[in-house]
Amino acid sequence: MMKVEVKSVLNRHRRRDDWFLDEYSVNPYYGCPFSCVYCYTRGTKYGSGRPGDVKAKANAPEVLARQLRAESRAGRRGFIALGTATEPYMPAEAELGLTRRCLQVISSLRFPVHVLTKSDLVLRDADLLREAAERAILPPDLRGRVKGAIVTVSISTLDPDAARAFEPGAPPPERRLEVVRRLSEEGLTAGVAFIPVLPGISDGEEEIDRMIEAAVEAGASHVFVGALTVPGDVRAAVEGLLSQRYPELLPIYRELFSSGPYPTGGYQARLDRVAREACRRHGVRYMLT
């Protein structure tokens, strides 16, 4: 694990994200050993899964504290998404604790936080998440609608074999659902992002219904459902896996993404409709607001 020094760690967005509500993002690491085939950062400094390319931003907590104080003095405050480009709870975090220290900074300066993860290591920081939820100053329009600390666990399929193929380094889906269950039992806001659902594997009506039912049984407060995208290097990686493991699906993928990195508009509309209907049936919030 290489350690690097950075000058900035806080990214401020032009506008609040409609789905995850974040106005800022923080990634304490470069690279990710989970090596998800579909990761949109593939081909960038955040997307390498090779062990030698995973780097820790050793001074991230100190830099974050400086930048958040400046934002606070300027009267700017909003949700910080922790882990938008790489896994914040990768195995190295157990030793280095950079994400935990960043959470301590976020809590102490009273910013709301939304943690995005596939890892059960997030359970270690339940104490800090409770503290952040209690201390956070929310933007006025979000007060009373959401809490100041949110954890969303990403799952692309409940099929353990498919998950192992597409997300070779990540914990299995059942362990991720257990994270939601345990955080929910501790009174924290925990949900599931079924993003991306995998065409021909986890995007059918029955599969989506089963996934949302499993999320509800685990105590999820909210659910996201989103389509696969295949920008740049992702297309080659996904098609390479399909050729080896699911050759019968290759023509479906090529037709679905024939016009570019996004699936057809009709596909996305169907996915949204099916997800919303399933969430209504199971009595869980679709997205956060």
Q: What is the mean pLDDT of the chain?
A: 95
CATH class of 2-286: alpha beta
Q: What is the mean pLDDT of residues 226-230?
A: 97
Strand segments, DSSP code E, in the chain are 2-4, 10-12, 22-26, 29-30, 55-57, 79-82, 113-117, 149-154, 189-197, 222-227, 285-286
Q: What would the pLDDT profile of 83-125 be if each residue is shown by its tens digit?
A: 999 999 999 999 999 999 999 999 999 999 999 999 999 999 9
pLDDT digits (tens, 9 = 90+) for 28-74: 999 999 999 999 887 666 665 554 578 999 999 999 999 999 999 99
Interval 3-19 mean pLDDT = 97
158 strand-pairing partners: none
Q: What percent of the chain has pLDDT over 90?
A: 93
Task: Work out the angle at residue 78's Cα, subtended by the Cα atoms of residues 180 and 84, and round it to the nearest 5 degrees.
Answer: 50
pLDDT of residue 41: 81
Alpha-helical (H) ranges within 16-117 are 60-73, 91-96, 98-108
Q: Are 33 and 86 in contact (CB under 8 A)?
A: no
Return the pLDDT at 232.
85
Residues 6+ apart with CB under 8 A from 9: 26, 27, 28, 57, 60, 63, 64, 67, 102
pLDDT, tens digit, 9 for 90 and up, residues 234-266: 999 999 999 999 999 999 999 999 999 999 999
Measured CA to CA, the distance from residue 10 to residue 106 in angstroms comes to 11
